Amino acid sequence: MTDLSGAWLGTYWQQGQPVRFEMTLVQGGNTISGNILDNNYLGEASLAGTVTGRSVSFTKKYLMGSRHSVEYSGTVSEDENTIRGKWQLPIFSGAWEAQRQDDNLSLEQTIKGVEKIPVGIA
């Protein structure tokens, strides 16, 4: 069974403009819940939904402002590290994608950076 629990970094496109977001998911059986933080004025939202096989769907509800809801659907990649799909409002829709945030990624980048630092000869 697909397990989506953890941290995700993603982008959704609204009227051709990308909006970055951070998402934390908790999965229990076929249900998911969590939080999303958009990198724009809409800010934080909660989410609740379901996972069936590699299909995921959830409703995102903003916590501030208009408190409107957005419907998301998507497909999880075979390696379970990417989700791609569509978001839908009554009058707008667009694409979205998210990548699993790997804690080892920052360590790998640090190691690569250290490897490139020239060593002086005393």
State pLDDT tens for residues 25-80: 999 999 999 999 998 888 899 999 999 999 999 999 999 877 789 999 999 999 99
Residue 49: which of 62, 23, 30 has the closest Cα? Answer: 30
Specify the higher pLDDT residue, 87 or 118. 87
| CATH code linked to domain 6-115 | 2.40.128.120
Q: Quick one: pLDDT at residue 88?
A: 96
Share of the chain above pLDDT 90, in %: 68
Question: How buried is 67 (Cβ within 10 angstroms: 0-12 exposed, 13-18 middle, 19+ buried)?
Answer: exposed
Q: Strands 31-38 and 44-52: what pairing?
A: antiparallel
pTM: 0.80
